[in-house]
Amino acid sequence: MRGDAVEKWLWMSAADLGRAIGRGEIDPIALTQTFLTAIDGHPLRDRIYARVTHDRARAEAKAASARARSGQRLSLLDGVPISWKDLFDSAGTGTEAGSMLLQGRVPERDAEVLANATAAGLVCLGKTHMSELAFSGLGLNPSTATPPCVNDPSAVPGGSSSGAGASVAFGLAAAGIGSDTGGSVRIPAAWNDLVGLKTTAERVPLDGVVPLAPRFDTVGPLCRTVEDAALLLAALEGGRPADLAGANLHGRRFAILDSVAQDDLRAAPSAAFDSAVQRLEAAGAQISRLRFDDLHEAMALTSCLYTVEAYGLWRDVIEANPDAMYREILERFQLGKGFSGPDYVAAWAKLETIRGAYDAAVAGFDAVLVPTAAILPPNLERLNSDHDYYVAENLIALRNTRIANLMGLCALTLPTGTASCGLTLMGAPHMEEQLLRVGAAAAQALA
């Protein structure tokens, strides 16, 4: 096999790799070794991967190769190598969630989603770096490592699934699996020009996933195509992938969400969003504008809902060794001290009411559109030295993505063609298959 042909494997979609394996054009053993060699030889390896699981990857590739030769492949992605965020338990391999608080933590069994993916034949390349305990959308982690942004070496890559995004963007995994509590799949996907799927809370199992705020925590893929997102969702939950054949935008109704999501957009994301909407309309979509001003009240509940749940889970571990944490993440957790039990219960009751009103307001639309992030990736050094800048950029980075988490939706971010600018389509709860079908058509229009 010529070297340039093998090099192309690093940049192919997961689905295309799977099809090539099925046709006998790619051996999973050679494919996995190509990724491992690329990882080990990459100058940014240790900023992207926390641990590379060479032995596991080679063993899984060997088994996938045997299945391919005997015509017994487990799925289209059988033999395709992917990465895993360092909060998914993996038997016998450290899982530390980007925190020195969990240094040396080695689980005895795989997370359920990792076990499901393995049962579908996917190959585990290793564990990727992340924001500490998943509590930041920026991807900055001075405690372990800050992965690079593919579009700006001086900027952060987005988080908290920072290494997951970088592993795909730099050609060191066919896809990455991350988690999303307030935007942690979609921000690194958008800032690294990838597709990212935020699933509905409680759809994909969280057993064996280091938690942040379980009522908001979700699992989802960062990948090159909407087809990959559909196939990976099926692998994560042990189901069947959405049928994307024949998807188009003719007659599809989209709403541009004007409330909150359009405020304070910086120039590049604003222009990229407008251009993307024009291309969707040119492809046959019907575009309306929507105001839902109850979102302002929902956003105000965020500091209570997220911090109380996160601090309640981690309080004893954090307070036993607070100096082990990055100061910005520690401060964010400790905001949970300022709310009472009645505050938390009242906030959830109010949010549920707002969710019902939102569902009614958007019932006639196939998806609601927002810019994935209002800003471009911020400067790494300034974030690490300027507290006020860190707080402000973190909040606005996650603002638009947090809408889907607060409203309990599924959401899909797509590259717009402008570097580090994504377009998000938000769908109804548990309607991932329909969202992916619409998203596949939207991606064709944007391309």
* Structure tokens, 408: 């309990």
Length of the chain: 447
In a domain, 313, yes or no: no
Half-sphere exposure of 390 (CA within 13 A, CB side): 19
Q: Are residues 373 and 397 in the same domain?
A: yes
Domain ranges, residue 281: 253-302+325-446
Residue 424 contacts residue 407 (beta carbons within 8 Å): no
Query: How far is the C-alpha of 183 from the C-alpha of 136, rounded, in Å?
Result: 9
In a domain, 318, yes or no: no
Using the structure block, give the residue that is written with the tokens 């487990």.
74
Q: Are residues 173 and 87 in the same domain?
A: yes
- Mark whether 160 is an active-site residue: yes
Q: Are residues 199 and 295 in the same domain?
A: no
Q: Are residues 284 and 367 in the same domain?
A: yes
C-alpha closest to that of 174 among 242, 49, 64, 77: 77
Active-site pick, 162, 167, 184, 259: 184
Residue 77 contacts residue 9 (beta carbons within 8 Å): no
In a domain, 27, yes or no: yes
The last residue of one of the domains, among 193, 212, 237, is 237
Query: pLDDT per residue over 289-336, tens digit each?
Result: 999 999 999 999 999 999 999 999 999 999 999 999 999 999 999 999
Band of pLDDT at residue 5, cut at 50, 70 and 90: confident
Residue 133 contacts residue 44 (beta carbons within 8 Å): no
As a whole number of Å, the CA-based R_g of the chain is 21
Residue 119 has pLDDT above 80, yes or no: yes
Q: Are residues 166 and 283 in the same domain?
A: no
**Res 1: pLDDT:** 53
Residues 6+ apart with CB under 8 A from 341: none
In a domain, 312, yes or no: no
Q: Are residues 233 and 282 in the same domain?
A: no
Count of H helices and E strands in the chain? 17, 11
The neighbour count for residue 24, using CB atoms within 10 Å, is: 9
Backbone angles phi, psi at 146, to 5 degrees: -105, 110
- Please give the mean pLDDT across all residues of the chain: 97
Q: Are residues 230 and 261 in the same domain?
A: no
Q: Are residues 132 and 8 in the same domain?
A: yes
Residue 216 contacts residue 405 (beta carbons within 8 Å): yes
- Mark whether 184 is an active-site residue: yes
Active-site pick, 85, 127, 136, 161: 85
Residues 6+ apart with CB under 8 A from 60: 32, 118, 121, 122, 123, 124
Query: How far is the C-alpha of 37 from the C-alpha of 31, rounded, in Å?
Result: 10
Query: pLDDT per residue over 384-406, tens digit each?
Result: 999 999 999 999 999 999 999 99
Residues 6+ apart with CB under 8 A from 121: 60, 63, 64, 67, 73, 74, 75, 77, 78, 79, 80
In a domain, 242, yes or no: no
Q: Are residues 410 and 284 in the same domain?
A: yes
Query: How far is the C-alpha of 325 from the C-alpha of 303, rounded, in Å?
Result: 20
Band of pLDDT at residue 3, cut at 50, 70 and 90: low
Query: How far is the C-alpha of 114 from the C-alpha of 95, rounded, in Å?
Result: 13
Query: How far is the C-alpha of 164 from the C-alpha of 169, rounded, in Å?
Result: 9
Query: How far is the C-alpha of 414 from the C-alpha of 246, rounded, in Å?
Result: 19
Band of pLDDT at residue 121, cut at 50, 70 and 90: very high
Active-site pick, 75, 83, 90, 160: 160
In a domain, 315, yes or no: no
Half-sphere exposure of 346 (CA within 13 A, CB side): 8
Q: Are residues 218 and 261 in the same domain?
A: no
Q: What angle do CA 198, 178, 216 make, to 5 degrees?
A: 50
Query: How far is the C-alpha of 272 from the C-alpha of 371, rounded, in Å?
Result: 8
The last residue of one of the domains, among 237, 264, 279, is 237
- Mark whether 85 is an active-site residue: yes
**Res 439: pLDDT:** 98
In a domain, 319, yes or no: no
**Res 4: pLDDT:** 75
Tally the domains of the chain.
2
Query: How far is the C-alpha of 290 from the C-alpha of 284, rounded, in Å?
Result: 19
Query: pLDDT per residue over 185-196, tens digit each?
Result: 999 999 999 999
The stretch 111-135 carries a mean pLDDT of 98
Residue 229 contacts residue 82 (beta carbons within 8 Å): no
Q: Are residues 158 and 203 in the same domain?
A: yes
CATH code (residue 258): 3.90.1300.10
Q: Are residues 172 and 282 in the same domain?
A: no
Q: What angle do CA 236, 237, 243 make, to 5 degrees?
A: 90
Query: How far is the C-alpha of 141 from the C-alpha of 156, rounded, in Å?
Result: 10
pTM exceeding 0.95: yes
Task: Assess whether the previous peptide bond of 160 is cis (omega < 30° from 0).
Answer: yes
C-alpha closest to that of 176 among 194, 190, 153, 149: 194
* Structure tokens, 410: 């599924």
C-alpha closest to that of 60 among 31, 39, 84, 88: 31
Amino acid identity of residue 302, one-letter, is T
Residue 2 has pLDDT above 90, yes or no: no
In a domain, 314, yes or no: no
Torsional class of 239: left (φ above 0), alpha (ψ -120 to 50), beta (otherwise): beta
* Structure tokens, 40: 């080990």
